[in-house]
Structure 1
Amino acid sequence: MDGIVFFRTERLAEAVEFYTETVGADVWLEQPDCTILVAGDFRFGFCEREGAETDGTLTFVVDSRERVDLLHDRLHTVADESPRYNERYEIYQFFAEDPEGRTVEVQTFEHED
């Protein structure tokens, strides 16, 4: 079974540009007032509506610290701080914010010895 998470947006073109140009997602499907994006196995979409939906966190899971650092380089102007190891969840991560204020997380799972 597959799934898609949708968000209402008041700035469809800007959201699509941010996630494709900055985060690195691809357009999976264009619909009349919605765009569905894909990053690996993660599908998420934005639909032009009145009132943006900004709750929740879009978490992008990558395969290494190097990929986290690379995405941080792309997102540094909207990131909360530098990537860091989170002992509680055994992940290397950082948080950022998209153009409408949604929380974006980039992380990789790892175990410190």
Structure 2
Amino acid sequence: MISGHPTLNQQVTFLYSEDVEASWRFYSEILRLPLIQDQGTCRIYEAAPGGRAFLGICRAKAPRATMDPRVEGGVVITFIADDVDCWYEYLKARGVEIPYPPTFNEFYRVYHFFFQDPAGYTLEIQRFERPDWVDPPC
């Protein structure tokens, strides 16, 4: 702990879906994230091994106002992986529509691609190509 500063132990990002059944199938069957907790209208999946990062996929109470993830209040969920090309092929083979193949972004120095889940959230698989990114703990 940093002196005088509390630590954060885990992180959960909650996403809301009008067709929650389709979203649950996507996260459990396509991405194969382990289900950690089923709360009835919300299911929480482990997003990375080690019990530190989670995604909560919940039944929406109202329709989305916009499909643009880069407006205020928008969201992009990024999964970090060593083999971005393998993820690209894996998702395409399972029928996930991916508008562009993986590319290198010179500005951010990441190799990545984007796609959407059934609720329209933008997801990204990326690998950092920079020495200053922290490696996950062992």
**Aligning the two structures, in what range does the TM-score lie when normalised by the shorter sequence?**
0.7 to 0.9
Instruction: Decide whether the 8 Å contact of 2:16 with 2:119 is kept in 1.
Output: no
**Aligned pairs (5 A) from 1:7-46:** 7-40=15-48, 41-46=52-57
Q: Which has a greater percent of helix?
A: 1
Range that drifts further, 44-53 or 30-39: 44-53
CA contact 1:8–1:51 (8 Å) conserved in 2: no
Alignment gaps of 5+ in structure 2:
1-7, 68-73, 132-138
Letter matched to residue 11 of structure 1: D
TM-score by length of 1: 0.84
Does the C-alpha gap of structure 1 residues 8 and 52 become closer, same or farther in structure 2, counting only changes over 3 Å? farther
Map of 2:4 onto structure 1:
none
Question: Residue 90 of structure 1 aligns to which amino acid in structure 2?
Answer: R
2:11 aligned counterpart, secondary structure:
coil
Q: Give the alignment's Cα RMSD to 1 decimal.
A: 1.9
Taking the aligned partners of 1:74 and 1:19, their CA distance within structure 2 comes to 14
Residue identity (%): 28
Compute the displacement of 1:74 (Å). 2.7
Larger strand fraction of residues:
1
1:71 aligns with 2:87: yes
Unaligned runs of 5+ in 1: none
Aligned to 1:87: 106
Q: C-alpha offsets along residues 2-43 of structure 1, whole Å, 9 cap, x if unaligned?
A: 121112211222111112222231111111211001121431
CA distance in 2, matches of 1:37, 1:87: 32
Runs of 4+ in 1 over 2 A off after TM superposition: 49-55, 74-77
2:13 maps to which of 5, 8, 12:
5
Structure with the greater alpha carbon radius of gyration: 2
More relative contact order, 1 or 2 (CA 8 Å, 6+ apart): 1
Return the offset for 1:87: 1.0
The two structures have a TM-score, normalised by structure 2, of: 0.70
